[in-house]
Amino acid sequence: MLIQILFYGFSLVLVAAALGVIAARNPVHSVLSLVLCFVTSAAIWLLFEAEFLAVVLVLVYVGAVMVLFLFVVMMLNVDFEQLRGGFTRYAWLGWITAAVVIVEIVGVVTAKRLGVDVSRGAAPLPADYSNTEALGHVLYTEYVYAFELAGMLLLVAIVAAITLTMRRRVGLKVQNVSRQVSVKPGDRVRLVKMPAEKRQ
Amino acid sequence: MQPTFTWSGVAPALPEIYLAAAICVLLMVEVFFGERRRGLTGTLTLLAIAGGAALTLACAQVDARVTLFSGMYVADPLGTVLKLFAFLFLALALLYSRAYLEQRDILRGEFYVLALSALLGVFVLVSANSLLSVYIGVELLALSVYAMVAFDRTSGVAAESAMKYFVLGAIASGTLIYGMSMVYGLSGTLRLDDLAARLTEAPSLGLVLGLVFIVVAVGFKFGAVPFHMWLPDVYHGAPTAVTLFIATVPKIAYFALAFRLLAYGLGGLTGSWTQMLAVLAVLSLVVGTVIALAQTNIKRLLAYSAVANVGFLLLGFVAGTPTGYGAALYYMLAYVIVTLAGFGVVVVASRRGFEADELEHYKGFHARDPMLALSMMVVMFSTAGVPPFIGFWAKLRIIEALWETGHLWLVIIAAAASVVGLFYYLRVVKLMYFDAVPAGLPATEKRTGVRFALGLNALAVLALGVVPNPLLELCERLLG
């Protein structure tokens, strides 16, 4: 019973936040609503005993991706008026997409007729079951090849990104600490011997 | 119960493990010594390739077909042979392009690291036995290649073509994984061998729909018409050393992609995808050949020639028989050997501040540099399909395979496209041998080592044409 109350509570917040993402006029508010979406989705995943995914969603999406979004929205001076100009031209596409999604939702809700009972849900797992541990086992045994290759893929992405963007500009004034420390008086001060001037 | 890893359980995958380790080591070498010694990483890369080839040979699968990593990886004779060829082709491409990179101040270790990671992608595809490893291999290869195309950061054209390649490639990856998800959803397995075993009845509509998306992605990777738009721009815009690379080594991977995914995994749908590929192949032959006639830039000319050649290669798959696949494999290897020499000449004929990429630059090439002109002539004759060269046998095998399966119309179109193609290949020869040298062209550089390798490459085009049987029989045995 408690779980159901929690589920509907989080779902309500999720739907409201999702509406906020598309309805907010201020893009910063949109991004913040999206953060709320992710947090409530993570909570719903927790209810489904998928705690690893919940934690990853918060860490990766809220912690990294959304912060990046916020930076982009706040730092870049995007002219949203101009961006939204002509938006209604594509409204028909939006209506079609919405219609398809509605049909799909109805299909899922009435899926019982297909012989799949979705209302009951899966049986609860034993108390000592760890979702994280189970994922770890699968990733490092059955899918170890794909997992390691995905790691290589990320490595290549890093190498490519750095290769294409990092450049050593000429004439850049950077400190070289070791040279600063090992500097000798002779390098900085030139002692000039000159005869004393006569007093005027 | 957990599966345990034993030495015998991973040993056949040693080439991939070795390559991944080599990439990491070379990256570290570049970080610590790259600044002081410019060419060090390049030299080490060639050594790593030699070591990798030896290792691949040592753990070669002679007859058996072994699957590892819960069936994601397959080690078989075809994989071993393709990997050895990939090592050879990459070594040649890096050898040819080194001076070019140096002249344009882009001789950096990352180039070699990216080339090796692309090679790892090729290997993953070559040994793929699961939709998942196919996809990761495609991405690993594509990501490395995008970065290589944009490698010369001072070149706006290169950046533009890299952007085009990247955006279109992302769409192709999307279609590939979308098609895969449908096939997975309807068959319930990611493993290609299971897929081959399960898809025996008449295919459902959903499967065919998924197949369409997969064929589109394969067509895009090959650069088959109508998914060829990126190919001339990328070949033209990329630094020639990179063009040399992307025109050769990845073709092995794309052959493996088509063979493992379509011919093997989706072998139950052969009747469907051969029809789709037939359309792509005919369009490629016609469009590639006709547009190549109008080119004035040799890189674009070779790009459209690549499109036409892809048409021929796909015709081998259209035959849908082991003979056809063997002919396609032979065609692919022959094409890569010839293309290596072709772009090799373009790379070697360039020098600092001068790109030898316009057809104009090849007027009277014989008078300026007889050796390079001779190599280029061999390339042109072979691509055109003139008898003593390897390209002739490649085209002949494809036509034979089509003839056996009764595709009379395709035989006629292929033959007609070859005849039209003769015109522009021979036009290059005419420019080189019968036209006067235009004024103001810089002399070509004398670099003995590279010229020796290039000469051997051109000689191989002739020698493999005079004695075609060993390679032909190898291809037939691998796919028979």
Q: What is the pLDDT of residues B221-264, one digit of tens each?
A: 999 989 999 999 999 999 999 999 999 999 999 999 999 999 99
Distance (Å) of CA B157 to CA A135, A169, B236: 45, 22, 9
Question: How far is residue B185's CA from residue B148's CA, in Å, rounded to a whole number?
Answer: 35
Question: Which of B6, B14, B124, B135 to probe by mutation at the A interface, max A CB count within 10 Å?
Answer: B124
Q: For position A120, what pLDDT does the model report?
A: 62
Question: How far is residue B108's CA from residue B117's CA, in Å, rounded to a whole number?
Answer: 15
Nearest one of B330, B327, B323, B331 to B306, comparing CA atoms = B331
Contact yes or no for B140 and A159 at CB 8 A: no
pLDDT at B72 over 70: yes
Question: Taking CB atoms and an 8 Å cutoff, what residues of chain B touch A150?
Answer: 136
Token reading at B115 = 């080339």
Cα-trace Rg, chain A: 30
Contact yes or no for A156 and B144 at CB 8 A: yes
Please tell me the least confidently modeled range out of A132-136, B14-18, B252-256: A132-136
Q: For position B217, what pLDDT does the model report?
A: 95
Q: How many Cβ atoms sit within 10 Å of the Cβ of residue A128? A: 6
Confidence band (pLDDT; 50, 70, 90) for B3? low
A141: nearest CB among B3, B117, B144: B3
Residue type at position B158:
A
Mean pLDDT of chain B: 91
Contact yes or no for B136 and A150 at CB 8 A: yes
Contact yes or no for B153 and A167 at CB 8 A: yes
Question: How far is residue B146's CA from residue B23's CA, in Å, rounded to a whole number?
Answer: 18
Shortest distance between the Cα of A95 and any Cα of chain B, in A, equals 23
Question: How far is residue B257's CA from residue B149's CA, in Å, rounded to a whole number?
Answer: 22
Residue of B nearest to A159 (CA): B110
Contact yes or no for B136 and A159 at CB 8 A: no
Residue range B157-189, pLDDT digits in tens: 999 999 999 999 999 999 999 999 999 988 889
Question: Which of A159, A165, A168 to probe by mutation at the B interface, max B CB count within 10 Å?
Answer: A159
A156: nearest CB among B68, B137, B140: B140
Q: Name the 3-class secondary structure at A10.
A: helix
Q: For position B1, what pLDDT does the model report?
A: 45
Question: How far is residue B132's CA from residue B137's CA, in Å, rounded to a whole number?
Answer: 9
Confidence band (pLDDT; 50, 70, 90) for B480? low
Question: Taking CB atoms and an 8 Å cutoff, what residues of chain B touch A146?
Answer: 72, 130, 132-133, 136
Full 3-state SS string of chain B? CCCCCCHHHHHHHHHHHHHHHHHHHHHHHHHHHCCCCCCHHHHHHHHHHHHHHHHHHHCCCCCCCEEECCCCEEECHHHHHHHHHHHHHHHHHHHHHHHHHHHCCCCCHHHHHHHHHHHHHHHHHHCECEHHHHHHHHHHHHHHHHHHHCCCCCCHHHHHHHHHHHHHHHHHHHHHHHHHHHHHHHHCCCEHHHHHHHCCCCCCHHHHHHHHHHHHHHHHHHCCCCCCCHHHHHHHHCCHHHHHHHCCHHHHHHHHHHHHHHHHHCHHHHHHHHHHHHHHHHHHHHHHHHHHCCCCEHHHHHHHHHHHHHHHHHHHHHHCCHHHHHHHHHHHHHHHHHHHHHHHHHHHHCECCECCCEHHHHCCHHHHCHHHHHHHHHHHHHHHCCCCCHHHHHHHHHHHHHHHCCCHHHHHHHHHHHHHHHHHHHHHHHHHHHCCCCCCCCCCCCCHHHHHHHHHHHHHHHHHHHCCHHHHHHHHHHHC
Contact B306, B231 (CB under 8 A): yes
Q: Is B40 on the interface with A (CB under 8 A)?
A: no
Confidence band (pLDDT; 50, 70, 90) for B26? very high
Question: A interface toward B at CB cutoff 8 Å?
Answer: 137, 141-146, 148-150, 152-153, 155-157, 159-160, 162-164, 167
Q: Name the 3-class secondary structure at A141.
A: coil
Average pLDDT of the residues in A10-23: 93
Indicate if the alpha-carbon torsion angle B287, B292, B297, B300 is positive or negative.
Answer: positive
Q: Which residues of A106-126 are buried (b: 16+ CB within 10 A; e: fewer)?
A: eeeeeeeeeeeeeeeeeeeee
Task: Tell me whether residue B83 is exposed, middle or buried, using C-beta atoms within 10 angstroms of its C-beta: 0 to 12, 13 to 18, 19 or more.
Answer: buried
Per-residue DSSP letter, A61: I
Shortest distance between the Cα of A98 and any Cα of chain B, in A, equals 21
Q: Is B13 on the interface with A (CB under 8 A)?
A: yes
Shortest distance between the Cα of B321 and any Cα of chain A, in A, equals 31
In chain B, what is the straight-line distance between the N-terminal and C-terminal CA atoms, in Å?
Answer: 39
Interface list for B 55-94 with A (CB within 8 A): 68-70, 72-73
Contact yes or no for A146 and B72 at CB 8 A: yes
Contact B245, B253 (CB under 8 A): no
B136: nearest CB among A142, A144, A153: A153
Question: How far is residue B280's CA from residue B286's CA, in Å, rounded to a whole number?
Answer: 10
Q: Which residue has the higher pLDDT, A117 or B317?
A: B317
C-alpha B12, offset from chain centre:
24
Contact yes or no for B72 and A143 at CB 8 A: yes
Interface list for B 89-148 with A (CB within 8 A): 108, 110, 113-114, 117, 120, 124, 130, 132-133, 136-137, 139-140, 143-144, 146-147
Per-residue DSSP letter, A76: S
Confidence band (pLDDT; 50, 70, 90) for B336? very high
Contact yes or no for B136 and A149 at CB 8 A: yes
Token reading at B318 = 């259209």
B147: nearest CB among A152, A163, A167: A163
Question: How far is residue B24's CA from residue B18's CA, in Å, rounded to a whole number?
Answer: 10
Question: Taking CB atoms and an 8 Å cutoff, what residues of chain A touch B110?
Answer: 159, 162-163
Q: Name the 3-class secondary structure at A16.
A: helix
Token reading at B139 = 């991405």
Contact yes or no for B73 and A141 at CB 8 A: no
pLDDT at A91 over 70: yes
Residue type at position A79:
D
Contact yes or no for B113 and A150 at CB 8 A: no
Contact yes or no for A146 and B114 at CB 8 A: no
Q: Which residue has the higher pLDDT, B226 or A168?
A: B226
Question: How far is residue B418's CA from residue B407's CA, in Å, rounded to a whole number?
Answer: 17
Contact yes or no for A145 and B13 at CB 8 A: yes
Indicate if the alpha-carbon torsion angle A114, A118, A122, A123 is positive or negative.
Answer: negative
Distance (Å) of CA B327 to CA A59, B186, B278, B471: 52, 32, 16, 11
Question: Taking CB atoms and an 8 Å cutoff, what residues of chain A touch B146?
Answer: 160
Cis peptide upstream of residue B226 (ω within 30 degrees of 0):
yes
Confidence band (pLDDT; 50, 70, 90) for B205? confident
- With a pLDDT cut of 90, the percent of chain B lying above it is 66
**Domain residue spans of chain B:** 11-479
Q: Is B279 on the interface with A (CB under 8 A)?
A: no
Residue type at position B464:
L
B69: nearest CB among A145, A160, A164: A145
B70: nearest CB among A142, A163, A164: A142
Contact B41, B49 (CB under 8 A): no
Q: Which residues make Cβ contacts (< 8 Å) with residue B9, sequence separation at least 6? A: B68
Domains recognised in chain A with CATH numbers? 2-78+87-115+129-167 (1.20.120.1200)
Contact yes or no for A143 and B3 at CB 8 A: no
Instruction: Give strand pairing partners of B68.
Output: B73
Q: Which residue has the higher pLDDT, A172 or B323?
A: B323
Can you give the pTM of this predicted structure?
0.88
Question: Taking CB atoms and an 8 Å cutoff, what residues of chain B touch A152?
Answer: 20, 23, 117, 120, 140
Residue range B385-417, pLDDT digits in tens: 888 899 999 999 999 999 999 889 999 999 999
Token reading at B121 = 């992608």
Contact yes or no for A137 and B144 at CB 8 A: no
Residue range B418-465, pLDDT digits in tens: 999 998 899 999 999 998 888 888 888 888 889 999 999 999 999 999
Question: Taking CB atoms and an 8 Å cutoff, what residues of chain B touch A153?
Answer: 136, 139-140, 143
Token reading at B118 = 């692309």
Residue range A103-126, pLDDT digits in tens: 988 887 776 666 666 556 667 777
Q: For position A114, what pLDDT does the model report?
A: 63
Question: How far is residue B394's CA from residue B330's CA, in Å, rounded to a whole number?
Answer: 6
Question: How far is residue B340's CA from residue B441's CA, in Å, rounded to a whole number?
Answer: 24
Question: How far is residue B331's CA from residue B398's CA, in Å, rounded to a whole number?
Answer: 8
Task: Tell me whether residue A180 is exposed, middle or buried, using C-beta atoms within 10 angstroms of its C-beta: 0 to 12, 13 to 18, 19 or more.
Answer: exposed
Q: For position A25, what pLDDT does the model report?
A: 81
Q: Which residues of B48-69 are buried (b: 16+ CB within 10 A; e: fewer)?
A: bbeebbebbeeebbeeeeebbb
Average pLDDT of the residues in A44-51: 87
Question: Which of B110, B155, B180, B190 to probe by mutation at the A interface, max A CB count within 10 Å?
Answer: B110
Average pLDDT of the residues in B114-118: 95
